[in-house]
Amino acid sequence: MPEFILSLDQGTTSSRAIVFDRKGNPMASSQKEFSQLFPQPGWVEHDPLEIWSSQLTVATEAIVKAGLKPADIAAIGITNQRETTLIWNRETGRPVCNAIVWQDRRTADYCNELKAAGKSEMIRERTGLVIDAYFSATKIRWILDQVPGAQDLAKEGKLAFGTVDSWLLWNLTGGQVHATDVTNASRTMLFNIQTMQWDEQLLALFGIPASLLPKVCSSSEVYGHTAGKVWAAKIPIAGIAGDQQSALFGQMCTEEGMVKNTYGTGCFLLMNIGAKPILSRNNLVTTVAWKIGEEVRYALEGSIFIGGAVVQWLRDGLGIIGSSGDVEAMAERVEDNGGVYLVPAFTGLGAPHWQQQARGMITGITRGTTAGHLSRAALESIAFQTLEVVRAMEADAGAAIRELRVDGGAVVNNLLMQFQADILGVKVVRPGLTETTAMGAAYLAGLAVGFWKDVAEISRQWKVGKTFEPAGSGDTEQLISGWNRAVAACKIV
């Protein structure tokens, strides 16, 4: 068997690819940013063709950088931004419009209509989700309504819907395979997490033809092989998981009660809750964590829409830092936030508030406020939002968390990680390898083809990089109160 696994990590702002060896070490990687399209306030789109071309480019580059040929790859794993909605023509392979990104709020009014019609509990019981524009179903409905001819083509079975994993799988296999895995399906608001099937009642509610939908598979199996026009070698595509579930698996949170937070464009906390889909009483969602063989695991999840993106806003919107990496040094110029709080509700508030109409707010500004205070407030906002979700999670689980495992681009920021530990009052553990999202997809693919024997073998590869212990600062409650006041104010806007 070839000695390497290729992981495709298709994120919200960039496409990445990493080649891993048998010990889980990254051998080479490549990354390429792609365009973020904002045609109207609250709208966020991606070009599906740019997603595909950028992902294929970095995959090829990573293989070359590692000094390998495609034939040296034992399997490919895919992990992806979730909920982002694509519809394409089955005959031409061309998208009917731009992808509607998970952050997009254009269907917020439709979601409010569904709530007013009393659909919330039915949807929650079947999908584990709250009604929100975040999820795919209302985005599909919008495309069918707004793109000329789309509804008729869908009824004729000529269109295909997919989240980004399905789009990549379709293109990698030369249009031969239209499938998704259970984790991505569970984010559409169309998938019944009790029966583990597309739900006919929900399809009827949204007016979505079943012919539009991909086949739902497990997270670890051979879905198909790369087509000749992609690479000469026929490589099995054998692992798929949405990015947050992939990170949960990559962090080896395989026991009930284990929690991870991924600090990316948004922040996403997941807690492994075992083999039963417990519904949240505290405004979290219940999602499928993974399915390996016949074994299904579930998770509670809290989705924070704006995490690391607030730092990008400091860079691109305000211009007070030159690069995202400058924010820590800028924040360290001041001793504290100076009473300044930044609530980054740029696209509404996610868990546990689910306030679609909320907008961002900065409170506590004085003549003495500096770029350092704004930078610190931006970083602290990420930790405060995480705190809110952790408290909701603990209330659902009936127990306090023991530690928080962290990953994602922002975890290199030691100031943020220490503040996170301080504000939570528990240790924050950063693994030796922070590429856990890509690693999870690689593990799932490797298990499917026998590259790794079992989960126990993989677990031995996970290692602690750095642990941040809470400092026990006395002003924690005062800081939290200030944050709560700022959040309350932004909901009034």
pLDDT in tens, 195-215: 999 999 999 999 999 999 999
What is the rounded average pLDDT of the residues 382-409? 92
Query: Tens digits of per-residue pLDDT, 344-356?
Result: 998 888 888 888 7
Q: What is the predicted pLDDT for the residue at 435? A: 84
Measure the CA–CA gap between 166 and 182, rounded to whole angstroms.
Answer: 12
Q: What is the predicted pLDDT for the residue at 473? A: 66
Q: What is the predicted pLDDT for the residue at 283? A: 87
pLDDT interval class at 137 (50, 70, 90): very high
- Residue 402: both structure tokens together: 């023991």
CB 205 within 8 A of CB 143: no
Q: Where are the domains of the chain?
A: 4-244
What is the secondary structure of 393-454 as a DSSP string? HHHHHTS--SEEEEESGGGG-HHHHHHHHHHHTSEEEEES---HHHHHHHHHHHHHTTSS--
Is the pLDDT score of 493 beyond 70? no
CB 166 within 8 A of CB 179: yes
Q: What is the CATH number of domain 4-244?
A: 3.30.420.40
Q: What is the predicted pLDDT for the residue at 477? A: 86
Query: Tens digits of per-residue pLDDT, 354-384?
Result: 887 788 999 999 999 998 999 999 999 999 9
Measure the CA–CA gap between 435 and 139, rounded to whole angstroms.
Answer: 30
The least confident of 112-116, 240-244, 264-268 is: 264-268
What is the rounded average pLDDT of the residues 84-106? 94
Is the pLDDT score of 389 beyond 80? yes
Is the pLDDT score of 30 beyond 70? yes
Cα–Cα distances in Å, from 128 out to 107, 143, 185, 283?
19, 24, 12, 10
pTM of the predicted structure, to 2 decimals: 0.87
Is the pLDDT score of 170 beyond 90? yes
- What is the chain's mean pLDDT, rounded? 92
Is the pLDDT score of 474 beyond 70? no
